[in-house]
Amino acid sequence: MSWTADEMMSIAAARALRDGQACFVGIGLPSKAANLARRLHAPGLVLIYESGTIGTEPDELPLSIGDGILADSALAVVSVPEIFNYWLQPGRIDVGFLSGAQVDRFGNINTTVIGPYDEPDVRLPGSGGAPEIAASCREVIIVMRHTLRAFVERVDFVTSLGHGDGPDDRRTLGLRGAGPTRVITDLGVLEPDPDTAELVLTALHQGVTVEQVRAETGWPVEVSADLMITAAPSEQELSTLRAMRTVGV
């Protein structure tokens, strides 16, 4: 049995979600992994999208955050102000499941610009719901492909706050959620060091080396003393992932 690095990433990310949790889902990689988790070990996972769909159970993957399939299969559909003000803001949501164009050593996320704001090298889509998802969920899990361009020492723009510049920043700023607890990539898993809040490598996917991770990380990434090796995808995980289709594709 063989699998791609992307498949391993989606499966590792799906495994990070627990049955019964409420998960605020970003589009793209997070949405794919969250829907995989719901088909595998977490049938009671409550999926919430910023379009206002609560407890949605799509039988295909949505292309956008507000596809009709999300509304059709939702327990409740609420307005955009309501989803942010009543559901996200008070801290009701367990996990914020996000991605980004850049993430830095403290788990700050950039989806706004590469380069300076006023004259960017690349203009990215912007914030969407992510700043408040990153602030208010009890914890944040980030899913991103591991490349040198994406894993940077310091993001060009803080769209969504991770741990700021260190372990006390979130507390000082009065944020209630714990912030990023895991960054799951196609190479492995990084977690914030409990003392420094800096992301350290805590797991490698099968067949990946520490050197590969170092080569794709823009800071001298530390390796955990208890470095784990991610369990290989099971046949069920792979077949379920491969059977998932995106609407209209």
Partner 1 sequence: MAKIVPLPQAVSEFVHDGDTVALEGFTHLIPFAAGHEIIRQERRDLTLVRMTPDLVYDQMIGAGCAAKLVFSWGGNPGVGSLHRMRDALSSGWPAPLEIEEHSHAGMANRYVAGASGLPFAVLRGYVGTDLPLHTASVATVRCPFTGEELAAVSALNPDVTIVHAQRADRAGNVQLWGIPGVQKEAVLAATHAIVTVEEVVDVLTPVPGAVVLPTWVLAAVSVVPGGAAPSYAHGYYDRDNAAYREWDAISRDRGTFTAWLEKLKGEKS
Q: Is 88 in the site for partner 1 (CB under 8 A)?
A: yes
Residue/partner pairs of 162-166 with CB below 8 Å, 24 or more apart: 162/103, 162/104, 162/106, 162/107, 162/108, 162/109, 162/134, 162/192, 163/106, 163/107, 163/108, 163/192, 163/197, 164/106, 164/108, 165/106, 166/106, 166/196, 166/197
Does residue number 44 form part of the binding site for partner 1 (CB under 8 A)? no
Q: Does 73 bind partner 1 (CB under 8 A)?
A: no
In this structure, the number of other CB atoms found within 10 A of the CB of residue 67 comes to 21
Identify whether 50 is a catalytic site residue. yes
Calpha distance 156→27 (Å, rounded): 22
Contact residue for partner 1 among 135, 150, 189, 238 (CB under 8 A) = 135
Considering only the stretches 5-13, 124-132, 140-148, 232-240, report the one whose residues sit in contact with partner 1 under the rule CB under 8 A. 124-132
x-or-dash string of contact with partner 1, 9-38, rule CB under 8 A: ------------------xx----------
Instruction: Summarize as ranges the residues that interact with partner 1 (CB under 8 A).
Output: 27-28, 50-53, 62-68, 70-71, 77-81, 84-85, 88-89, 112, 117, 120, 123-132, 135-136, 157-161, 164, 169-170, 173-175, 246-249
